[in-house]
A and B are shown apart, each in its own frame.
Chain A
């Protein structure tokens, strides 16, 4: 599946959630579908999107948080999966787009291209619900199930290593950050 199509398919769920994304293609593609003030794009600090999601989820237990992560980022913070699992926020859904490469910096293959299985790693870390989706329909079902279940889930979506032509958008980093904080203050 293509990540842009996958994002479009789960967009209705994103609209009604607090969303934290990683940098690069994921951020640019989500913005191309439609930016909302409840979306925060971490344009650096690879690995920490899930940690930011955890901090929000623990601070706002009544609101749903969806983290849009990537294989390269998760591999930089595998220990973070054990922290997620340890605190098991019921309101956090962790979606990992796995294109088996570091697309934004030249497309070099990551360890998932040689067999490392992120859903299995998340499961072994103690995340209560994990799965790998290779088709859009399966991803949508997995996200909907996670929303209904109200328990921590890590959903790995296998996607093609294709992305937008450019990653810089006209949404400034600090504009996004302060808008997001203001939205959270009001909701």
Chain B
């Protein structure tokens, strides 16, 4: 499975460097290494979800209790979380750091991922959720740090789109 282990490590290290102590996740192909890194880290609380919207509540609870958290999900998980994002995180001004694997963009081979890919950015804009792309290991650290800074100062959700160029290593 050509999911990039090195990029996953760079992302995980950036989350740790920014004080993330709780990760909620629902497995998706591009996230496998990140979830395993969290699993093997005794200092990380990993919460495996049944559905991504639960992660909004868990992150809200963690935030209110003083613990920094992040959410790992596929863009379809973002779609499944929208009511929670609006009526919990936005209504109550909760910072959320959402790392969303951006399936269905250029290069996608799985037909079932293509519809969600086509609406992801429009939905983020409609919800006025600031977002940036993570498409190269070079800027992962600074973008995660800046995203978390904005989430905390604005008390709002922010999103980082994990792009194919970062997460997937095409076989030669």
Instruction: Mark B residues whose CB is within 8 Å of A.
Output: 22, 45, 47-51, 53-67, 69, 83-84, 87-88, 91-93
Contacts and interface: CB of A to CB of B under 8 A. Distances in A.
A173 B93 CA distance: 10
Given A48-B53, A80-B54, A55 B62 contact: yes
Contacts of A177: 64, 92-93
Contacts of A56: 61-62, 64-65
A47 B132 CA distance: 29
A59 B66 CA distance: 8
Contacts of A80: 50-51, 54, 57
Interface in A32-67: 40, 42-45, 47-60
A52 B60 contact: yes
Interface of A: 20, 40, 42-45, 47-60, 77, 79-80, 82-83, 86-87, 173-174, 177, 180-181, 184-185
Nearest to B89: A45
Contact of A59 (B53, B61, B87, B91): B61
A180 B53 contact: no
Contacts of B50: 79-80, 82-83
A55 B66 contact: no
Ranked 7 nearest A-B pairs via Cβ:
A55-B61, A51-B57, A79-B50, A48-B57, A45-B88, A44-B87, A59-B65
Contacts of A51: 53-58, 60-61
A45 B62 contact: no
A55 B91 contact: no
Max count, chain B CB within 10 A of own CB: residue among A40, A45, A54, A79: A45
